[in-house]
């Protein structure tokens, strides 16, 4: 057993240490002669789930008897899209350190497999919990969305766009904490990218992710930025409160048409929002078709629905609305002078 070259796992999957603001954590990348050697370090247990290109197992570190999760990935063919996805995931997880983002402990590299050892989230995927509960209460939803927004603020400050935020990629650390709250971890960064910022030169065009969570600008092919993650948060929030997605279709074309033409809050789901009118306003700001008018992760985190501060007046959800309100105010002042 020896430590592998952290610059690439011998297939250029992992970038060298960066001089950016987001310095990489010291995550060991260890080469093993064969897969049997890993079974001498970890005892594999039950299957926890299956990601975009790997199976996740619960595992016990034999020496310390600590519990972990191990994602087992068949070594992708050189030059394939899976190589890039795995490289993106490892690169990003080596850089991040946040309470609401899955923690990567170490990586093992063998001739046939790649193994990612991460913290164990005993509560499973959030979609599994939603299936059992049917819907979440407003308080439960608030805590989950606050945690999700906090993680996305952290990512976006580092120019990382997740691009596949969905219930299946949000893990529950434990079923509930002592206060009855559900603690989450964002996972599966295979489709994530680290851009050079929010300038026009960093606009993305590749449509990816899961259709019902996909932002309309991503589907349209006109280019998109980090605001796509906020649309996905809106879909997640809607599903937690209502138990169903706001828009459903089998094709991008039909889904985009539905988003453009359908009223979000139909009679069918009105009952979900009878006692959560403020949450309804937040959803309206997250599920805006035009990303320029969509609420940012920072604005979501500071929203009175999240903070619980009812004394704070409602503020415009984005800069364009603030500019519009200012212009209307100036116009009113001019009219009074006349």
Q: What is the pLDDT of residues 316-333, one digit of tens each?
A: 555 555 555 545 555 554
Catalytic residue (one of 26, 99, 109, 164) = 164
Residue 93's nearest CA partner among 184, 146, 181, 155 is 155
Annotated binding site for ATP: 71
CATH for 126-322 is: 1.10.510.10
Annotated binding site: 71
Is residue 164 annotated as part of the catalytic site, yes or no?
Answer: yes
Q: What is the assigned CATH class of domain 2-119?
A: alpha beta
Q: What is the model's pTM?
A: 0.84
SS3 214: coil
Say if residue 208 is exposed, middle or buried (CB neighbours under 10 Å; 0-12, 13-18, 19+).
middle
With beta carbons less than 8 A apart as the criterion, state whether 161 and 151 touch: no
b/e per residue 253-290 (b: at least 16 CB within 10 A) = eebbeebeeeeebeeeeeebbeebebbbbbbebbbbee
Low-confidence ranges of the chain (pLDDT < 50): 5-8, 10-13, 15-22, 326, 333, 335-336
* pLDDT at residue 155, as a whole number: 97
- Non-local CB neighbours of 148 within 8 Å, separated by 6+ positions: 100, 165, 170, 184, 186, 233, 236
Q: Alpha-carbon distance 18 to 94, whole Å?
A: 11
Residue 69's nearest CA partner among 147, 161, 185 is 185
Going from N- to C-terminal start, the domains of the chain cover: 2-119, 126-322
* pLDDT at residue 330, as a whole number: 52
* pLDDT at residue 76, as a whole number: 87
* pLDDT at residue 158, as a whole number: 95
Neighbouring CB atoms inside 10 A of 132's CB total 7
């Amino acid at each position: 057993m020896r430590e592998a070259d952290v610059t690439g796992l011998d297939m250029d999957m992992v970038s060298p240490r960066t001089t950016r603001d987001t310095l990489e954590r010291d995550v060991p990348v260890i080469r093993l002669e064969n897969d049997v050697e890993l079974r001498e370090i970890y005892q594999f247990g039950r299957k926890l789930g299956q990601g975009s290109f790997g199976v996740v197992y619960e595992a016990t570190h034999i020496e310390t008897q600590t519990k972990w999760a191990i994602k087992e990935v068949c070594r992708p063919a050189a030059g394939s899209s899976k190589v890039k996805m795995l490289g993106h995931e490892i690169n990003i997880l080596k850089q991040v350190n946040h309470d609401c983002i899955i923690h990567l402990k170490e990586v093992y590299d063998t001739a046939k497999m790649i193994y990612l050892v991460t913290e164990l989230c005993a509560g499973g995927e959030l979609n599994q919990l939603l299936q059992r509960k049917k819907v979440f209460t407003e308080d439960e939803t608030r805590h989950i969305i606050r945690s999700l927004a906090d993680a996305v603020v952290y990512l976006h400050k580092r120019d990382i766009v997740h691009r596949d935020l969905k219930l299946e990629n949000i893990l529950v650390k434990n079923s509930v904490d002592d206060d009855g709250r559900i603690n989450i971890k964002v996972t599966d960064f295979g489709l994530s990218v680290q851009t050079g910022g929010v300038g026009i030169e960093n606009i993305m065009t590749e449509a990816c992710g899961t259709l019902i969570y996909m932002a309309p600008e991503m589907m349209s092919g006109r280019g998109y930025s980090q605001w796509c993650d906020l649309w996905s948060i809106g879909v997640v929030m809607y599903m937690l409160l209502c138990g169903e997605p706001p828009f459903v279709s089998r094709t991008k074309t039909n889904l985009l048409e539905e988003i453009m033409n359908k009223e979000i809050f139909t009679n069918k789901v009105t009952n979900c929002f009878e006692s959560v009118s403020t949450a309804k306003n937040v959803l309206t700001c997250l599920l805006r078709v035009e990303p320029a008018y969509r609420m940012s992760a920072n604005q979501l985190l500071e929203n009175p629905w999240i903070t619980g501060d009812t004394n704070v007046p409602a503020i415009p959800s984005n800069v364009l609305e603030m500019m519009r309100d200012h212009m209307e105010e100036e116009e009113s002042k001019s009219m009074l002078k006349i």
